[in-house]
């Protein structure tokens, strides 16, 4: 028996990632940031793998972004030295874990309420620790974040007064055209109060390459750009050729001429629908016209139009998922390859870290 | 410090299961099957935990159902002795794993094509092994399965002729009113050819308690009944009081009076929408009128109507998910409790077993 080296030989369903495309995507985003003088802080929620975070850091990233503390713990244990946690850390248990992390890595946080700032301050100052705090600003989305530049300034002043916290700047997600004026107004109010706005962190792959037109932002956070997905193809941030991610899946049933069933369902692709009006649950690279019209947990339903040859039982296809982040989170392992030759099998170390 | 014993003390988000309700649900379904003389073969895809499978077996189940071979391997390793794998096993690697499993447990499979039957036969007969094979019949859903009773009979005859396979009966999912006549016609054709239809296996929680009205089915497979979920509440198979599953989640932001943000998003609840016309991504038990109107991966968006008190930052709520199976698959651990007291923390051993 020869050693297994080609992705064609892998059992399905399986998540594979083309490292050549990953390299091109990292170079493109870092190049943009370097050209315009932005700090780049990739979000690890797309890949969830320390080895890829280190590729991003080697290319010039200033640190990484994590959503949950559990992801930050994985990255810190793997040698990442500078981490921003953008999800509000509420409650004593989270504060204690943040304190522990802050002893070993440079960590900063973002939140939108005095309550959270005070609770973090209590625990951090007790131990003589200090963490950078960015004020989370709701400039466009309507999710978390203070609702006005005035509220941002109020929270900045409070944070500046609290032991254990350093006011480090502003954070928003996503960066939209209206984010620029909003953040500018907040920055001016805060500076007028005598505080320095260390950094202004904006996020999201869809608008990342337009950040220089939006203004105010000094640091870019983006995650999906590294793999691409159907949504990135549709919003033209990653070309189909640069989509690094694929779920290899086998046709396991062909009950009728117009229907094939794949072994990749929502447990392999996630049930996220496409973001931009397209129909279907992922793109079959070899048969772009064969629509994955429904998913059960283990089954993908494919509509076969008249005239399409292929997709018989046993055929393996590659599916680009609608949303890379949620698809990756379904997999325990990622198989990295170059031109189909396997170069690494990485545990998805930060998968499922919801705490 | 006292030992942690109450679910109130757990960090969020976390999956909890009320073992008293689990016991009631197991008793109700097994009682129904016993009353009507059905064999019961629970689907483990809902809980994915050997300890709960053993509760079901102790109550009288004849074995378990698994969707993927990886789930069957987990259950076999945990001492489950009789397993039906309902997902078609295609390709050499799957056949070899099936052969290995069949040496240690009583295992049966279901599929819908001559190709799959022949490939399994090749590997099993080579080793002198034998596995029960049920013909997968598409009686209602339009997913996998042979398309007519005649096709079922043809495949039964082929299976009966193949070494390494025993024709064991018919399988369908879900059991619908039209499934009875379909399966009856197939059974009669097969019996007329001189073969015995050992068992007729029907599936699905929504119609399980009506199986005696549908006819033909001799074995019931159901999974979701054991935990319940929003869909079970809506189709009245499990009452709200008997819903055993909850995702405990904390309010982490209250940016406006009409919006709260929870720390449970699609990575804790799954992004499955409700099945029966209801709106929203899960039911907050304490605030049934507060709608979870959107999910991001880590964020749940809650609409707060005028007059609703509560859901301030730091409050922890319990969410019944729309779909128990997909929600469970997002969690590495399940905390089992009785009246809020923790009695076990179980790894979700069969989580993510997509192969």
Q: Is residue A352 part of a domain?
A: no
Q: Judge whether residue B317 has pLDDT over 60.
A: yes
Give the nearest chain A residue to B257 (CA atoms): A147
Assess whether A274 and A181 both reside in one domain.
Answer: no
Taken in order A58, A59, A63, A69, the sign of the CA dihedral is: negative
At residue B41, does pLDDT exceed 90? Answer: yes
Claim to verify: residue B295 and residue B309 sit in the same structural domain: yes
Q: Do A108 and A217 fall within a single domain? A: yes
Closest CB to A252 among B88, B325, B352: B88
**Half-sphere exposure (CA, 13 Å, Cβ side) for A184?**
8
Mean pLDDT of B6-14: 97
Two structure tokens written together for A14: 């399986």
Residue with tokens 């599929």: B111
Task: Tell me the shortest Cα–Cα distance from A234 to chain B, in angstroms.
Answer: 19
**B2 located within any domain:** no
Nearest CA in chain A to B247: A354
- Closest CA–CA distance from residue A26 to any residue of chain B (Å): 23
User: How many CA atoms, within 13 angstroms, populate the side-chain half-sphere of residue A145?
Assistant: 22
Instruction: Kindly determine whether residue A87 and residue B252, on different chains, have CB atoms separated by under 8 Å.
Output: yes
| d(C-alpha A93, C-alpha A109), whole Å | 15
| A163 touches A121 (CB < 8 A) | yes
Q: Are strands B245-256 and B219-221 parallel, antiparallel or unpaired?
A: unpaired
Q: Smallest Cα–Cα separation from B201: which of B225, B168, B162?
A: B168
DSSP assignment of B273-297: PPSSS--SS-EESS-TTSEEEEE-S
B91 contacts A250? CB cut-off 8 A: yes
Domain identity same for B131 and B64: yes
Chain B residue whose CA is closest to A326: B297
Residues B35 and B172 in one domain: yes
Mean pLDDT calculated for residue range B46-70: 98
Do A87 and B250 make contact, defined as CB atoms within 8 angstroms? no
Question: At which of B226, B245, B276 does a domain end?
Answer: B226
Residue in chain B lying closest to A96 (CA): B11
Give CA–CA dist B347/B50, Å, rounded. 9
pLDDT at A1 over 60: no
**Measured between beta carbons, which residues in chain A are less than 8 angstroms from residue B48?**
none
CATH number of the domain within which A258 lies = 2.40.37.20
> Which of B323, B354, B355 is the best substitution to test chain A (most A C-beta atoms within 10 A)?
B354
Domain boundary among B160, B195, B226: B226
Confidence class for position B67, pLDDT limits 50, 70, 90 = very high
**Helix orientation angle between B149-161 and B114-126, rounded to the nearest 10 degrees:** 20
Rounded CA gap, A132 and A62, in Å?
15
- CA gap B93, B111 in Å, rounded: 16
Of the pLDDT bands very low, low, confident and very high (cuts 50, 70, 90), residue A221 is: very high
| Interface predicted TM-score (ipTM) | 0.97
Q: Is the per-residue pLDDT at A2 higher than 70?
A: no
A123, containing H or E segment: helix A114-126
Q: Is the domain of A218 the same as that of A263? A: no
Of how many residues is chain B composed? Answer: 355
| Subunit contact B91:A11, Cβ cutoff 8 A | yes
Residue B2 has pLDDT above 80, yes or no: no
Query: What are the DSSP E strand ranges found in A37-95?
Result: 39-40, 64-66, 82-85
The pLDDT assigned to B4 comes to: 59
Measured between CB atoms, which of A87, A115, A326 is closest to B314? A115
Question: Within this chain, do residues A260 and A208 fall inside the same structural domain, yes or no?
Answer: no
Residue A330 and residue B352: Cβ atoms within 8 Å? yes
pLDDT digits (tens, 9 = 90+) for B150-186: 999 999 999 999 999 999 999 999 999 999 999 999 9
Instruction: For B89, name the nearest residue in chain A, comparing CA atoms only.
Output: A252
Answer whether A143 sits within 8 Å of B298, measured CB to CB.
Answer: no
Would B345 be classed as within a structural domain? no
Determine whether B71 is exposed, middle or buried from the number of CB atoms within 10 Å of its CB (0-12, 13-18, 19+): buried
CB contact under 8 A, A90 and B331: no
- Cα gap B103→B130, rounded to integer Å: 9
Please report, for residues A355, B228, B232, B237, B245, the alpha-carbon distance to residue B241 in angstroms, rounded to integers and kept in the order given.
28, 10, 12, 12, 11
- Using a CB-CB cut-off of 8 Å, the residues of chain A touching B145 are 253, 255
Q: What is the structure's pLDDT at A4?
A: 59
Task: Out of B251, B330, B355, name the one closest to residue A352 (CB).
Answer: B330
User: Least CA distance to B300: which residue of chain A?
Assistant: A143
The structural domain count of chain A equals: 2
Which pLDDT score, from 0 to 100, does residue A277 have?
86
Question: Is B183 domain-assigned?
Answer: yes
Contact A352 B329 (CB under 8 A): no
Q: Are residues A181 and A241 in the same domain?
A: no
What pLDDT was estimated at residue A82?
A: 98
Is B93's CB within 8 Å of A11's CB? yes
Domain range holding B42? 20-226
pLDDT band at A123 (very low <50, low <70, confident <90, very high): very high
| pLDDT range class, residue B3, cuts 50, 70, 90 | low
B275, with CB counted inside 10 A (0-12, 13-18, 19+), is middle
Does any domain span residue A339? no
Nearest partner of B17 among B46, B54, B38, B56, judged by Cα:
B46
Interface with chain B: mutation pick from A252, A299, A326, A332, highest number of B CBs within 10 Å: A252
Query: Percentage of chain B surpassing pLDDT 70?
Result: 99
| Domain presence at residue A354 | no
Domain match, A238 and A279 both: yes
Flag whether A141 is in a domain.
Answer: yes
Instruction: For A197-216, write each residue's pLDDT tens digit.
Output: 999 999 999 999 999 999 99
Do A161 and A243 share a domain, yes or no? no
* Predicted local distance difference test score (pLDDT) of residue B201: 98
- Pick from B261, B264, B266: which is nearest to A143 by CB? B261
Domain boundary among B168, B193, B226: B226
How many A×B Cβ pairs under 8 Å? Answer: 159
Q: Nearest by CB to B255, which of A91, A112, A252?
A: A112
Distance from CA of A35 to the nearest CA of B (A): 31
Indicate whether B205 and B263 sit together in one domain: no
Whole-prediction pTM: 0.97
> Which residues does chain B have within 8 Å of residue A328's beta carbon, measured at their own beta carbons?
none
CATH number, domain of B116, equals 3.20.20.10
- Tell me, yes or no, whether B352 lies in a domain: no
Residues B105 and B200 in one domain: yes
> Can you tell me the mean pLDDT for A129-157?
98
**Per the CB < 8 Å rule, is A67 touching B116?**
no
**How near does any CA of chain A get to the CA of B35, in Å?**
31
């Amino acid at each position: 028996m020869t050693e297994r080296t080609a992705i064609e030989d892998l059992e399905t369903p399986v998540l594979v990632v083309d490292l050549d495309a990953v390299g091109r995507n990292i170079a493109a985003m870092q190049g943009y940031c370097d050209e315009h003088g932005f700090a780049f802080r990739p979000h690890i929620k797309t890949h969830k793998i320390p080895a890829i975070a280190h590729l991003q850091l080697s290319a010039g990233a200033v640190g990484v972004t994590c959503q949950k503390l559990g992801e930050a713990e994985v990255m810190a244990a793997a040698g990442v030295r500078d981490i921003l946690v953008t999800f509000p850390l509420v409650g004593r248990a989270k504060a204690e874990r943040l304190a522990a992390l802050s002893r070993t890595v440079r960590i900063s946080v973002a939140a939108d309420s005095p309550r959270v700032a005070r609770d973090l301050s209590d625990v951090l100052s007790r131990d003589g620790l200090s963490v950078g705090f960015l004020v989370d600003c709701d400039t466009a989305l309507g999710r978390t974040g203070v609702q006005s530049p005035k509220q941002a300034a109020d929270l900045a002043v409070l944070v500046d007064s609290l032991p254990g916290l350093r006011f480090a700047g502003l954070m928003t997600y996503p960066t939209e055209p209206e984010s620029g004026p909003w953040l500018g107004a907040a920055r001016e109010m805060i500076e007028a109060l005598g505080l320095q706005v260390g950094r202004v962190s904006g996020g999201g792959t869809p608008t990342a390459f337009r950040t220089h037109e939006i203004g105010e932002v000094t640091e870019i956070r983006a995650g999906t750009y590294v793999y691409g997905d159907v949504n990135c193809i549709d919003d033209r941030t990653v070309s189909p050729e640069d989509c690094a991610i694929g779920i290899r899946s086998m046709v396991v049933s062909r009950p009728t001429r117009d229907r094939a069933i794949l072994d990749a369902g929502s447990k392999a692709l996630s049930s996220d629908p496409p973001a931009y009006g397209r129909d279907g649950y992922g793109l079959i690279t070899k048969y772009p016209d064969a629509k994955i019209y429904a998913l059960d947990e283990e089954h993908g339903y494919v509509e076969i139009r008249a005239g399409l040859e292929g997709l018989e039982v046993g055929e393996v296809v590659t599916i680009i998922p609608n949303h890379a982040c949620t698809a990756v989170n379904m997999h325990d392992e990622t198989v990295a390859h170059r031109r189909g030759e396997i170069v690494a099998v990485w545990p998805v170390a930060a998968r499922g870290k919801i705490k």
